[in-house]
């Protein structure tokens, strides 16, 4: 359980409505390399906001600027109404960060990792002893509190990192690729905890290259590619705006895709040919598939499915999310 | 609430509780082995030397004890300023974790250097205790060396932490030990007075920070006058701390907050 917090505490310094984070023309360069190119976004209180995009899209650079650990090259960024360049420590006091690498001290125990982190925030030993126990129960690691972190599984380490990030009762929790490298079971366990946090009113920022993660957790998201934002909205909005209701996936025997493509080109409102399959974007997948069969085209396998954010990404960039 | 740099010290101290036993044994065993082998063993030979006057009337044991104390401070600082810093920045990234909290880079560098200072203090105190056991010098005199030894350690800690924060490959750390720490340990007046070196090599020895540290520590313990006045030694060592701190600050920012 995450302890209840005083709602008045967190609103005092913000300006500009209920935007916890706002960016205008935000840019990050490393030498000649442009990691984030002139992006705008706004993140509101109590929302779960996603940055969806492939590796190298600029998600982590954006997160690091919001977390006040990486200077902004140009543009304007406000977090809780403050400038990360000037008030970094004040911002970080109110943030919880789950970085891509867990950055846990492997030599120390589960308890000590959260406790020492809490001390960095200036919390008293007494406060921490109670709070760490509560948080370890929340992430289901309380039985392992005296184990060395070294002995934990990947999923447990991730959950411990989340407990650590919550120790200061942050107003905003930033999660950078929270489930990358985890097995499906560990991913679902983690999603469940994040979902609970969201229900309790914690504002979440999540970066991910998994479209299912973004669909499950995010109220609103931006799709990033090559340092820029290519689409923005709720998962449903994005899908209805950039894709059709259903998608038919067709796989052909090697060498036959091209020939088949000519004969089915006009069946759907949009046809996307990937190296390994053809996607037909349509409102009615079953009748599109029936039409395919009628034209004597014989794919090896067929799938009719609903549109996903992956399709949105493909529509906007011409590429798939995970190569 | 604890000042932020002290929170960094506390975090290091809590982590140290996991490994203190091994490190305590090393802190005592090293001095015991060196003072036994060099002070007692080699000392018997030295005392038959025709150039014994170079030791200004002290036993060889009494001569090398304060020198070794300063050198031990240097080595402790060098160890704490290299691998743990690399681990914090690159291997286990605990420095990244600290900087995600209200801790600033300057708090982290200052707090870490303070922690190294505490480790050097521990090692120098252990050394003073061993000196006592060997009856190398009167008890109080041995403790008088702790202050100068800690200053010596810090004069190494700051530049070495700076060095570690700037390099990209950890193999350079072994280079530092092989071509920096080891030669200084041998030739900076620890085991014999620098004026016994060939003339052209003496200025090199005088330029090393360890020579200044050894001189200060030896003067405090043996009550002999320094070859150069004490304020010059202190100023040189303090300057190294200040410059090292400033460079470490830049190095940490460059690596941890690009």
Q: Note the pLDDT tens digit of each residue in A225-274.
A: 999 999 999 999 999 999 999 999 999 998 889 889 988 989 999 999 99
pLDDT at residue B256 above 90?
yes
Smallest Cβ distance to A112: which of B1, B14, B256? B14
* pLDDT attached to residue A323: 58
| CB-closest option in B7, B18, B96 to A103 | B96
Return the residue in A103, A111, A166, A169 with the most chain B beta carbons within 10 A, the one to mutate for interface testing. A103
Check CB contact under 8 Å for B100 and A99: yes
For B90, name the nearest residue in chain A, comparing CA atoms only. A103
Nearest chain A Cα distance for residue B164, angstroms:
19
B chain contacts of residue A107, beta-carbon cutoff 8 Å? 15, 18-19
Nearest to B18 among A90, A93, A108 (CB): A108
* Disruptive mutation site among A63, A105, A112 for chain B (greatest number of B CBs within 10 Å): A105
Q: Which chain B residues are Cβ-neighbours of A127 within 8 angstroms?
A: none
ipTM at complex level: 0.90
pLDDT at A10: 42
Does position B23 have pLDDT exceeding 70, yes or no? yes
pTM: 0.91
Whether A5 shows a pLDDT value over 50: the answer reads: no
Is residue A120 very low, low, confident or very high in pLDDT (cuts 50, 70, 90)? very high
Determine whether the interchain pair A104/B7 forms a contact, defined as Cβ–Cβ distance below 8 Å: no
Biggest distance spanned by C-alpha atoms of chain A: 74
pLDDT over 90, % of chain A: 81
**CB-CB under 8 Å, B97 with A117:** yes
Nearest beta carbon to residue B11 from set A93, A119, A164: A119
Q: State the nearest Cα–Cα gap between A106 and chain B, in angstroms.
A: 8
């Amino acid at each position: 359980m995450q302890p209840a917090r005083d709602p008045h505490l967190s609103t005092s310094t913000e300006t500009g409505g209920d935007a916890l984070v706002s960016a205008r023309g935000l840019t990050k360069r490393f030498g000649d390399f442009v990691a984030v190119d002139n992006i705008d976004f706004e993140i509101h209180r109590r929302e779960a906001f996603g940055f969806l995009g492939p590796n190298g899209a600029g998600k982590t650079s954006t997160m690091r600027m919001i977390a006040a650990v990486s200077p902004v090259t140009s543009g304007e960024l406000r977090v809780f109404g403050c400038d990360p360049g000037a008030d970094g420590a004040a911002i970080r006091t109110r943030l919880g960060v789950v970085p891509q690498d867990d950055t846990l001290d492997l030599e120390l125990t589960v308890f000590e990792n959260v406790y020492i982190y809490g001390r960095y925030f200036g919390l008293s030993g007494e406060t921490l002893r109670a709070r760490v126990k509560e948080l370890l129960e929340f992430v289901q690691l309380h039985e392992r509190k005296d184990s060395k972190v070294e002995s934990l599984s990947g999923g447990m380490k991730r959950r411990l990192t989340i407990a650590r990030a919550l120790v200061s009762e942050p107003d905003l929790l930033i999660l950078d690729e929270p489930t990358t490298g985890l097995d499906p079971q560990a991913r679902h366990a983690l999603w469940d905890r994040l979902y609970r946090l969201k229900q309790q009113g914690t504002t979440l920022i999540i970066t991910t290259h998994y479209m299912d993660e973004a669909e499950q957790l995010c109220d609103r998201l931006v799709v990033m590619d090559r340092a820029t934002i290519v689409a923005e909205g709720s998962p449903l909005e994005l899908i209805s705006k950039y894709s059709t209701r259903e998608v038919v996936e067709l796989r052909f025997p090697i060498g036959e895709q091209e020939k088949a493509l000519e004969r089915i080109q006009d069946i759907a409102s949009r046809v996307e040919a990937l190296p390994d399959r053809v996607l037909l974007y349509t409102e009615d997948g079953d009748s599109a598939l029936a039409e395919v069969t009628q034209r004597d085209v014989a794919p090896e396998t067929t799938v009719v499915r609903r549109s996903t954010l992956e399709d949105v990404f493909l529509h906007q960039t011409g590429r798939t999310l995970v190569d | 609430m604890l000042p932020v740099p002290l929170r960094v010290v506390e975090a290091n101290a809590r982590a140290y509780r996991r490994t203190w036993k091994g490190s305590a044994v090393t802190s005592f065993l090293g001095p015991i082995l060196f003072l036994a082998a060099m002070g007692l063993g080699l000392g018997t030979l030295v005392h038959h030397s025709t150039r014994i006057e170079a030791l200004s009337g002290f036993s060889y044991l009494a001569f090398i004890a304060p020198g070794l104390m300063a050198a031990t401070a240097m080595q402790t600082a060098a160890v704490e300023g290299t691998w743990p810093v690399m681990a914090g920045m690159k291997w286990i990234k605990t420095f990244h974790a600290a900087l995600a909290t209200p801790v600033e880079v300057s708090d982290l560098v200052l707090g870490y250097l303070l922690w190294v200072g505490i480790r050097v203090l521990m090692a120098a105190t252990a050394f003073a205790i061993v000196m006592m056991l060997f009856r190398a010098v009167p008890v109080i005199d041995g403790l008088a060396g702790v202050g100068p030894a800690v200053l010596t350690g810090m004069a190494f800690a700051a530049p070495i932490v700076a060095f570690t924060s700037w390099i990209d490959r950890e193999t350079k750390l072994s280079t530092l030990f092989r071509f920096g720490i080891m030669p200084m340990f041998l030739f900076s007046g620890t085991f014999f007075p620098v004026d016994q070196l060939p003339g052209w090599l003496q200025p090199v020895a005088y330029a090393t920070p360890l020579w200044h540290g050894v001189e200060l520590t030896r003067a405090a313990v043996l009550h002999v006058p320094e070859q150069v006045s004490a304020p010059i030694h202190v100023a040189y060592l303090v300057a190294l701390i200040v410059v090292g701190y400033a460079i470490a600050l830049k190095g940490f920012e460059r690596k941890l907050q690009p």
